[in-house]
A and B are shown apart, each in its own frame.
Chain A
Amino acid sequence: MDQKNKTSKKPKNSKFSQQELPAWKPILTPGWVITSFITIGVLFIPTGLLALSASDNVVEIVDRYDEGCIPDSYSQKAESYIQNPNQNKTCVRTLRVPKKMVAPIFVYYQLEKFYQNHRRFVKSKSDKQLRDADAQDDTHNCFPEDYTADNKPIVPCGLIAWSLFNDTYKLSARGKAINIDKKGIAWKSDMEAKFGSNVYPKNFQKGTLIGGGKLDERIPLSEQEDLIVWMRTAALPTFRKLYGKINTDLESHETITAEVENNYNTYKFGGRKKLVLSTTTWIGGKNDFLGIAYISVGGLCLFIAINFILLYVFRPRRLGDPSYLSWNRQPIV
């Protein structure tokens, strides 16, 4: 129709529009396959060994005390023992140092079957209230630990804070107390930004139902490191949390006396409690899994590589055999 002003509609000739961009087109040749499997194997096995040896260098003492700290007379009624406020709950445990432990030695408590990752639990806190002194009424996520019976806001509110772990440990070796440093166990970022330095505990643990530990109302939240550690919820139902650090070395075969105040009730839900002393290396604490996994994957790759080589040697593919094509082997519908 309007052929007069004929502008050419010829497409532009560019590598892009003609889909001819230079491209790298790798394909899985036998060489490539074998090389990559061998490379993975060669890289992974030493890495795994390295990780394993690092884990091996970690000295770890684990002592389960939830059962041992119940007097025999209470063995069938652990709950009533733990719930009795007048009962003296101190119990003494003896730990043996298997190898020399070099400072810093980290003291952890380990809980099992404790679902800190339960949605009801995780949600039950108020970030705003923890950080901001003016936001003490911001408790809408904290039910049922939001207000006291006389309708005063609880600071810190919510189930997490309310269930604060309150067992305490005192360590001594050869009659001499070992100092446990409780400073610097929380994440710096939490102390700086998530917990306010002018927010003080209020109306905490004043209800009829006492959850866990109590807080000193004179100390601002940002310095209540036990609370901060506790409130950084664990990912899985078995977890450790830092209790403190020991800044002196512990010699091999040394016997350590741990005086445990067994306050925290895990008997209700059958959870275990453990006291853990551990050193760390560059890979962290003791866990052989990573090393073993590395070695297994690497080994598997080497194994596959060998099999491939054998397959190519003993069953080379005939070239130009169309019967290998997938649709020639599948009956066509």
Chain B
Amino acid sequence: MPFGRHERIRFSKIYSLSCFRPSTKDEHGQIGQKGYSRVVYCNDPENPEALQLRYRGNYVSTTKYTAVNFIPKSLFEQFRRVANIYFLVVACVSFSPLAPFRASSILFPLLVVIGATMAKEGVEDWRRRKQDIKANNRKIHVYRDHSFSQSKWKDLRVGDLVKVYKDEYFPSDLLLLSSSYPDGICYVETMNLDGETNLKLKHAFDFTSSLHDDSSFHHFKAVVKCEDPNEDLYSFVGSLSYNGEQHPLSLQQILLRDSKLRNTEYIYGVVIFTGHDTKVMQNATDPPSKRSKIEKRMDKIIYILFTTLISISFIGSIFFGIRTNRDLNHGSYGRWYLEPTRTTALYDPNRPILAAFLHFLTGLMLYGYLIPISLYVSIEMVKVLQSIFINQDQDMYHEETNRPARARTSNLNEELGQVDTILSDKTGTLTCNSMEFVKCSIGGVPYGRGMTEVEKALAKRKNLGQGDANVGDDSGRYGDPSGSVGKGIKGFNFRDERIMGGEWVNESHSDVIQKFFRVLAICHTAIPDVNKETGVLSYEAESPDEAAFVIAARELGFEFFQRTQTSICLHEIVNGQKVDRSYELLNMIEFSSARKRMSVIIRNAENQLLLLCKGADSVMFERISKESKQPFEEETKNHINKYAEAGLRTLVVAYRVLEEEEYKEWEREFLKAKTSVSVDRDDLVDAAAEKIERNLILLGATAVEDKLQKGVPECIQKLANAGIKMWVLTGDKMETAINIGFACSLLVQGMKQIVITLDSHDITALEKLNDRDAIAKASRESIRKQLMEGRSQLDLAKSSSVLFGLIIDGRSLTFALEKGLESLFLDVAVDCSSVICCRSSPKQKALVTKMVKEGTRKTTLAIGDGANDVGMLQEADIGVGISGAEGMQAVMASDFAIAQFRYLERLLLVHGHWCYRRIAMMICYFFYKNIAFGFTLFWFEAHASFSGQPAYNDWYMSFYNVFFTSLPVIALGVFDQDVSARLCLKYPMLYQEGVQNILFNWPRILGWMFNGLLSSMIIFFICKNSTIHQAFRSDGHVVDYEILGVIMYTCVIWAVNCQMALSINYFTWIQHFFIWGSIFFWYIFLIIYGYINPEWSTTAYRVFIDACAPTPFYWMTTLLVVVATLLPYFLYRSFQTRFQPMYHDEIQRRRSEGGESGGESEVPDRVKERIDLLGERMKHSHREM
């Protein structure tokens, strides 16, 4: 073992470990009580008490159903829908004499619909089950019969001892006993839990960490008492009794299922929670299910139809009651052929009200065809198919990461076409999140040539005028290919021959440079990782920034190659020779978002005590020593500002020499703060850290670039042209954010900026006084004032076409989101074409999203890549996850996952638009076809004294929704395109059709319903009048009930299918096949059905072949009715496309007239003008909202 016991300074001492708050005393007092009653007998499987507890095994099942409960449970799910309940009730009642049709003909479509939905559920669940099986059968080493042997995850029991090797997942929640490290630490990666890719440190108890080999567990016995299973990932209460002593447990000793062991050869642990009791499984609640606005409106339409259904049934039953009552008048019959004296309650002239009521129930069934039974299942199928197309889109496939787009939910496809506001994260979403070290300022001298993308954009903006010599010393050398650095180094894009290749020693301030890079090489939490085969050194770092620093230090000759628990070892190149230097690591004060800095305390070989510190400029400069002279403070500040302007992330690097005495005193205090078990422990630790991080000596500043992703500016431009507003929520500094804004064309030249900030003098003055209430009050006032100013600026500019951009920082945002200011803030923000929120926290991101969503009542889309975006993604109407570097957390919380930001353009403008249009048309058409059909029944009733006799054979009707009209509408929902993908992208304005919901507004919906009503009237009255009583064929036969049914039904089938053909203008072979196939199928059905025994076919027996088909009358009526039915819609559309065209009509006309397919150049100028003009109008209209 490399370390003797005396020199073992434990990591636990070096790290402040502030992130693991040990549970306080009073929590421990609760052990054994309610909620804290779990008892685990470690390594004692035969213990009778342990057997009695019967904790669940480690078998997990994430499926919704089991083989046993699948049928009842999925049926229950089905019948939670109002429409389905209605159909179930109808099916039940259909066995009674109330039913106007045979029970089987009602049951059949219901069974088809329910069966299809259940099959879909079943397939989805089967996939989950396959995943479960995979997880349950993973292998783990378990201690059984005095040795570790392989076993399956599912066979693990509570109390088992397990051994987990490097890069394996933990099979359940474990108590860490010991690891391959002598003091029982280990590193875990919790990406699957919280999406953070950095490694976390876990630490076993001293007294268990000595159990180092398999044999030492022979006599190991312990009892753990702890909390009951719960979902809190960040706390753990429990105690371990071992050798008769009680030890409080904390999260430091707990390894959670689904996290991964890293950088540690192996660990030993005891299973505490298994299977569904583990924290991660307890957390596995379904994400809030989102429903699209269209679907919500669709529900309303269903209610309208129910109302219609009830009212026409009611009207029918009133008439029925009156007629029935008249049939028996003081003992004399009316319609004697109905024998009104000997009757049942269904038709009893003596009790007309009861008869009318029963008839009302019959009517509810009869007119049930108004409610489209297959609507829900068709929409679900269509959406699944649409998602498949989204997943299959080659233009959204990212070659480098091998990731296609993924629609994780199919509920929201059409919502993609209605997005009004995009809320975007910056890092990793707009940028690549691969940090590159590009510049630094050391001792007041800027180093690093090369131009960032932001600089390029800025230069472009300045018309390449003054250039940017200030930032990148001589830009003339930019792009010099003979740079000594190989291009392939990730995270390093620094070129400066003055300090590279060991040249830095020749600089006048080489000592500062040396210290600067030493800080970068030592002050971090990265872990080196040498690939055993290739010998290549790589680093595991908490953040990409940190990795960039360590890599930069390595490239400049300060190679960090080993971290032990107490030291950091570097290869330093001194005079061309590699020298190993070791620094003793004494303390580490970690980075936190509140502290914005990190420090390490080391002792170097010269026995000097040093504090090395790096952090954000806002906190660092106030800690720079005021006493000793800082010769280059001003220059450094200047450089930092320029870097920030260039869109770079900056950090200030400083150090300090410590005196032994001072350090000793401070260390005592710090240890005390660390080990205190009170609520304000973190504050104490911070305060202690504050004491030593002062009087720093400035060394310089670093600048790393986060490159913009490919195509981001173009994409944002396109989205802006489509009238979509864009909000960027970033953690960056204001200057950085603004410049990134320019780089990605979120802000454009000539745009007026409204900046809201709290960095004014009065506030800073108040801050010094440290009076929280006063600050808050003053801040609120200041923000109100700034917002009012912005408002008046906007009002002034209303008539002109000046665009505004709003920039607000995180602190101001806190106040702006408060109740009193929220509406004002939103009011100003929605009038600006782009909004940037800087320095915002994850919670603020979610709050802003919520505010926009609820304030504007329009569709919001949030896009992000990291765990900090999860709240935002779930809050927004649509969450889009970028499957990038920062783990899968965002993707897991998202509704759609894409690999690059630029795919958003295609996702929204093409797929969103298509899906919106398809679903909107589909629903409208659905209602049309069912109203057109349902009302013919009603008109027939009016001629059958409302007796409840359906106009058609039972089976014609039950096949209506299932076979004769369903496939064309599904083809519409899946394949229809108003304009091609290329034109969707070319005319982004088309997207406004969805945003303004003009394809699914009430006039349009009601228009379609009216069209349905009209169609039903035309169909019925033409059929009725043309067949009224005369012979319809030359052999003298007349039209009877059976034949009228066939004629009318034929007309309905033709009319609704031709209506479909008329309302789409995109015919591939699929559309042709389904539309004409459906009509053809009706005839096929009629022939086959007609040849079945008349006991089954009843009124359809040979009715087509014998009676209808040979007569010209039948075909002529069909033709007349179809043309007459389609005429109103055709007329309307002819007028509309000519005199009141919608935007897609325009584009279609261009395409057909101008031969758009020829090429881009053929767009006439006037079209371009038109588009520009439209764009202008859009801006105005937004302002007017």
Q: Which residues of A are interface residues toward B (Cβ below 8 A)?
A: 6, 8-13, 17-30, 33, 36, 40, 44, 47, 51, 60, 79, 104, 106, 108, 110, 114-122, 127-128, 131, 143-145, 159, 162-163, 185, 187-189, 193-194, 209, 211-212, 232-242, 245, 265, 268-269, 278, 280-287, 289-290, 293-294, 297, 300-301, 304, 308, 311-312, 317, 319-320, 322, 324-329, 332-333
Residues of B1075-1120 contacting chain A, CB below 8 A = 1093-1095, 1098, 1101-1103, 1106-1107, 1111-1113, 1116-1117, 1120
Q: Is the CB of A233 within 8 A of B1040?
A: yes
Q: Is the CB of A122 within 8 A of B1152?
A: no
Q: Is the CB of A285 within 8 A of B1032?
A: yes
The residue from B944, B1038, B1123, B1145 contacting A242, defined by CB atoms under 8 A apart: B1038
**B1025 lies within 8 A of chain A by Cβ:** yes
**B1177 lies within 8 A of chain A by Cβ:** yes
In the assembled complex, the Cα of A331 lies from the Cα of B892 at a distance in Å of 40
Q: Is the CB of B1038 within 8 A of A118?
A: no
Contacts of A122 in B (CB 8 A): 949, 1041
Provided the pairs A245-B1036, A284-B1032, A325-B1143 are in contact, do residues A144 and B342 lie with their beta carbons within 8 angstroms? Answer: yes
In the assembled complex, the Cα of A212 lies from the Cα of B339 at a distance in Å of 12
A-B contact pairs, 5 of them (CB 8 A): A131-B1094, A162-B337, A282-B1034, A283-B1116, A329-B1140
Apart from the given pairs A117-B943, A211-B336, A239-B1029, 8 other A-B contacts in the complex at a CB distance below 8 Å: A23-B1067, A26-B1067, A115-B335, A120-B347, A162-B337, A189-B1101, A209-B339, A235-B1040
In the assembled complex, the Cα of A110 lies from the Cα of B1043 at a distance in Å of 18
**B464 lies within 8 A of chain A by Cβ:** no
Q: Is the CB of B397 within 8 A of A10?
A: yes
**B302 lies within 8 A of chain A by Cβ:** no
In the assembled complex, the Cα of A24 lies from the Cα of B338 at a distance in Å of 57
In the assembled complex, the Cα of A239 lies from the Cα of B1030 at a distance in Å of 8
In the assembled complex, the Cα of A233 lies from the Cα of B1112 at a distance in Å of 23
Instruction: Find the A residue at minimum CB distance from B1069.
Output: A21
Instruction: Find the B residue at minimum CB distance from A234.
Output: B1040
Q: Is the CB of A24 within 8 A of B1031?
A: no
State the Cβ distance, B398 to closest chain A Cβ, in Å: 10
Q: Is the CB of A319 within 8 A of B389?
A: no
Contacts of A283 in B (CB 8 A): 1032, 1112-1113, 1116
Contacts of A234 in B (CB 8 A): 1038, 1040-1041
Closest 8 CB pairs of A and B: A285-B1030, A144-B342, A285-B1031, A106-B1036, A235-B1044, A163-B337, A189-B1102, A119-B947
Q: Is the CB of A28 within 8 A of B1137?
A: yes
State the Cβ distance, B98 to closest chain A Cβ, in Å: 11
**B1141 lies within 8 A of chain A by Cβ:** yes
Q: Could you mark each residue 1065-1078 of chain B with 1 if its beta carbon is under 8 Å from any beta carbon of chain A, else 0?
A: 11111100000000
Contacts of A325 in B (CB 8 A): 1141-1143, 1146, 1174
In the assembled complex, the Cα of A13 lies from the Cα of B1040 at a distance in Å of 56
Provided the pairs A27-B1065, A283-B1112, A289-B1026 are in contact, do residues A265 and B944 lie with their beta carbons within 8 angstroms? Answer: no
In the assembled complex, the Cα of A104 lies from the Cα of B342 at a distance in Å of 43
**B68 lies within 8 A of chain A by Cβ:** no
Q: Is the CB of A19 within 8 A of B389?
A: yes
**B33 lies within 8 A of chain A by Cβ:** no
Q: Is the CB of A144 within 8 A of B393?
A: no
Q: Is the CB of A290 within 8 A of B1044?
A: no
Provided the pairs A106-B1036, A118-B949, A325-B1143 are in contact, do residues A235 and B1030 lie with their beta carbons within 8 angstroms? Answer: no
Q: Is the CB of A332 within 8 A of B996?
A: yes
Q: Is the CB of A327 within 8 A of B998?
A: yes
Contacts of B1184 in A (CB 8 A): 332
Instruction: Find the B residue at minimum CB distance from A188.
Output: B1106
The residue from A6, A115, A145, A209 contacting B402, defined by CB atoms under 8 A apart: A6
**B1185 lies within 8 A of chain A by Cβ:** yes
Provided the pairs A25-B1148, A33-B1134 are in contact, do residues A322 and B393 lie with their beta carbons within 8 angstroms? Answer: no
Contacts of A120 in B (CB 8 A): 338, 343, 346-347, 947
Contacts of A209 in B (CB 8 A): 339
The residue from B339, B1070, B1111 contacting A144, defined by CB atoms under 8 A apart: B339
Q: Is the CB of B394 within 8 A of A304?
A: no
**B1138 lies within 8 A of chain A by Cβ:** yes
Q: Could you mark each residue 383-414 of chain B with 1 if its beta carbon is under 8 Å from any beta carbon of chain A, else 0?
A: 00000010111100101001110000000000
The residue from B1037, B1041, B1102 contacting A235, defined by CB atoms under 8 A apart: B1041
In the assembled complex, the Cα of A163 lies from the Cα of B1045 at a distance in Å of 23
**B1131 lies within 8 A of chain A by Cβ:** yes
Instruction: Find the B residue at minimum CB distance from A184.
Output: B1035
State the Cβ distance, A194 to closest chain B Cβ, in Å: 5
Instruction: Find the A residue at minimum CB distance from B1149.
Output: A27
Contacts of B1036 in A (CB 8 A): 104, 106, 185, 242, 245, 278, 280, 285
Instruction: Find the B residue at minimum CB distance from A270.
Output: B334
In the assembled complex, the Cα of A36 lies from the Cα of B1123 at a distance in Å of 11
Q: Chain B CB within 10 Å — which of A19, A51, A304, A326 has the most?
A: A19
In the assembled complex, the Cα of A120 lies from the Cα of B1044 at a distance in Å of 19
Q: Is the CB of B339 within 8 A of A19?
A: no
Q: Is the CB of B1029 within 8 A of A127?
A: no
Stretch of B152-160, B436-444, B1164-1172 with 4 or more beta carbons under 8 angstroms from chain A: B1164-1172
Provided the pairs A19-B975, A284-B1033, A317-B1138 are in contact, do residues A238 and B1028 lie with their beta carbons within 8 angstroms? Answer: yes
Q: Is the CB of A328 within 8 A of B1177?
A: yes
Contacts of A287 in B (CB 8 A): 1026, 1028, 1030
In the assembled complex, the Cα of A317 lies from the Cα of B1145 at a distance in Å of 14
**B1133 lies within 8 A of chain A by Cβ:** yes
Q: Is the CB of B1141 within 8 A of A11?
A: no
**B968 lies within 8 A of chain A by Cβ:** no
**B1024 lies within 8 A of chain A by Cβ:** yes
**B948 lies within 8 A of chain A by Cβ:** yes
State the Cβ distance, B906 to closest chain A Cβ, in Å: 12
Contacts of B1116 in A (CB 8 A): 47, 51, 283, 290, 294
In the assembled complex, the Cα of A110 lies from the Cα of B1112 at a distance in Å of 24
State the Cβ distance, A160 to closest chain B Cβ, in Å: 8
Q: Is the CB of A289 within 8 A of B1138?
A: no
In the assembled complex, the Cα of A324 lies from the Cα of B949 at a distance in Å of 49
**B1139 lies within 8 A of chain A by Cβ:** yes
**B776 lies within 8 A of chain A by Cβ:** no
The residue from B949, B1120, B1167, B1185 contacting A297, defined by CB atoms under 8 A apart: B1120
Instruction: Find the B residue at minimum CB distance from A300.
Output: B1127
In the assembled complex, the Cα of A312 lies from the Cα of B342 at a distance in Å of 68
Instruction: Find the A residue at minimum CB distance from B1124.
Output: A297
In the assembled complex, the Cα of A240 lies from the Cα of B1093 at a distance in Å of 28
In the assembled complex, the Cα of A6 lies from the Cα of B400 at a distance in Å of 12
Contacts of B376 in A (CB 8 A): none
**B238 lies within 8 A of chain A by Cβ:** no
In the assembled complex, the Cα of A188 lies from the Cα of B1033 at a distance in Å of 14
The residue from B333, B949, B1037, B1148 contacting A117, defined by CB atoms under 8 A apart: B949
Contacts of B389 in A (CB 8 A): 17, 19
The residue from A117, A235, A280, A297 contacting B1027, defined by CB atoms under 8 A apart: A235
Provided the pairs A304-B1131, A327-B992 are in contact, do residues A232 and B1140 lie with their beta carbons within 8 angstroms? Answer: no
Q: Is the CB of B944 within 8 A of A119?
A: yes
Contacts of A326 in B (CB 8 A): 998, 1140-1143
Provided the pairs A241-B1038, A297-B1120 are in contact, do residues A10 and B394 lie with their beta carbons within 8 angstroms? Answer: yes
Instruction: Find the A residue at minimum CB distance from B1170.
Output: A320
Q: Is the CB of B1185 within 8 A of A332?
A: yes
Contacts of B1101 in A (CB 8 A): 189, 193-194
